[in-house]
Structure 1
């Protein structure tokens, strides 16, 4: 099984690489940090194709697919994981940085999916895994561009699953909540500490990766993690009210 993972050098992407490798998959790992990809590949037992790329340029985002498939065969599982998160008062947000986020978080995964989908459909098998966010269901204050990007990716993912029913190609939409990664920790630092925020469950990248691998194997429609946040799918209006009402305030720089 050939699994391609974007944003594979750290955090959730690195955990996914290790989890799929443990199942015997061959891997295509794509990220900006080549030295991290090299280090991860040395620790994995299976074959790996490594590609350094800035995926915030959608027009070049698919350049690695042809050489990866030439080396490892057709991509069986595409994991759209690469992404960035900005947390800031919206009126102070840098427009150029926000639009770069949208290119990386939305346009690139859509372009990658479009590139591998015809081959999967012709073979009658394959899986697309989209790492969205609970922010797609319960948008967080201070994440104006991020909320928009994950809402777009999640809706595209959910719609594609229905479209592909009966083709043999499966789509898994992943909704991570707070996960203990570098990105997650930096995100927490942008908010004022409150009693409510300290009660929020926080998961691990390794456990999320395990659940994603199982969802691919069992053809599950979606993963919500930590699992206690599953209620947000059942009662999104209530979850959005709670998020809006009890989210901690964003730290503001002096002046």
Structure 2
């Protein structure tokens, strides 16, 4: 990153699920490096049980001096999410250059009694919404002759080894969520292949370990060991690397820490400044 020419200067980005956690971290790093942003989440203000809000993220990002817009939209509602890209184009003053599909639904429950309504909601949020947002940004990206689409995936998309099956918490309770991420991975790869040669890069990135955001902490109940956790700054570094990926880096389902090693990246803080990984106690 140049001190005189920030990496994302002049680019317009949309980040979903930007109230807190990974989404808010990605948005801050993009703003710190010069992007204008549309931040999207279901509500503007506080979640009843989680800290952070879209309003708070926007206020923090305003300090970087670039345009920050917010939009409350329910990504599980096709009509509501159809507003996102047109409003981003209008309010940011041009086509979307970067789309980060971060918002997701994660409802853990054993499969034997998993309700159909929850399965439908999971796939609506984690598969249909990202695909529709990708489709919505494509005309502008094709006209500009460039674009970056990054989708947040999950290592849970891998199959369980077995039999015998040696499961760890939450075990099969995440199978519907995992299936939705596996479907998203296949769409990412297919979209990249379909667009190859257009300079539109389509990738996915997943944590190699758990990123202990507010939502993840609530789901896991503090059961993860230190060696099962990666830092938010590391995940954000991998995501933003794909937001600036060269044309040949497309169609990948990347692991965050592996990508950092592959590209020999120096992990920075959310403000774009040098960052030192905290020591992990034994």
Shorter-chain TM range is: 0.7 to 0.9
Match of 2:214 among 162, 165, 182: 182
- Give the alignment of 1:106-255 within 5 angstroms: 106-138=127-159, 141-177=172-208, 178-189=210-221, 198=225, 200-219=227-246, 220-221=249-250, 222=252, 223-227=254-258
Could you say which residue in structure 1 is the equivalent of 2:275?
none
CA distance, structure 2, for counterparts of residue 169 and residue 63 of structure 1: 22
SS at match of 2:122: helix
Q: Does the Cα contact within 8 Å between 2:148 and 2:244 map onto a contact in 1?
A: no
Q: Does the Cα contact within 8 Å between 1:3 and 1:76 map onto a contact in 2?
A: yes
Q: TM-score with structure 1 length normalisation?
A: 0.81
CA distance, structure 2, for counterparts of residue 202 and residue 90 of structure 1: 26
Which portions of structure 1, spanning 4 or more consecutive aligned residues, are displaced by more than 6 angstroms?
none
Q: Does the Cα contact within 8 Å between 1:181 and 1:204 map onto a contact in 2?
A: no
Deviation at 1:145, TM superposition (A): 1.5
CA distance, structure 2, for counterparts of residue 84 and residue 149 of structure 1: 10
Deviation at 1:137, TM superposition (A): 2.6
Note the aligned Cα RMSD (angstroms).
Answer: 2.1
Could you say which residue in structure 1 is the equivalent of 2:82?
62
CA distance, structure 2, for counterparts of residue 63 and residue 199 of structure 1: 41
Structure with higher helix content: 1
Match of 1:15 among 18, 21, 25: 25
Stretch deviating more after TM superposition (198-207 or 175-184): 198-207
Deviation at 1:34, TM superposition (A): 0.3
CA distance, structure 2, for counterparts of residue 186 and residue 67 of structure 1: 32
Structure 2 residue runs without a partner (length 5+): 1-10, 46-52, 161-170, 262-282
CA distance, structure 2, for counterparts of residue 64 and residue 98 of structure 1: 24
Could you say which residue in structure 2 is the equivalent of 1:244?
none
2:14 pairs with 1:4: yes
Structure 1 residue runs without a partner (length 5+): 231-255
After superposition, the Cα gap between the structure-2 partners of 1:16 and 1:64, relative to the gap in structure 1 and judged at 3 Å, is same
2:97 pairs with 1:76: yes
CA distance, structure 1, for counterparts of residue 87 and residue 139 of structure 2: 17
CA distance, structure 2, for counterparts of residue 227 and residue 142 of structure 1: 27
Equivalent pairs counted in the alignment come to 224
CA distance, structure 1, for counterparts of residue 77 and residue 99 of structure 2: 18
CA distance, structure 2, for counterparts of residue 201 and residue 90 of structure 1: 25
Could you say which residue in structure 1 is the equivalent of 2:4?
none
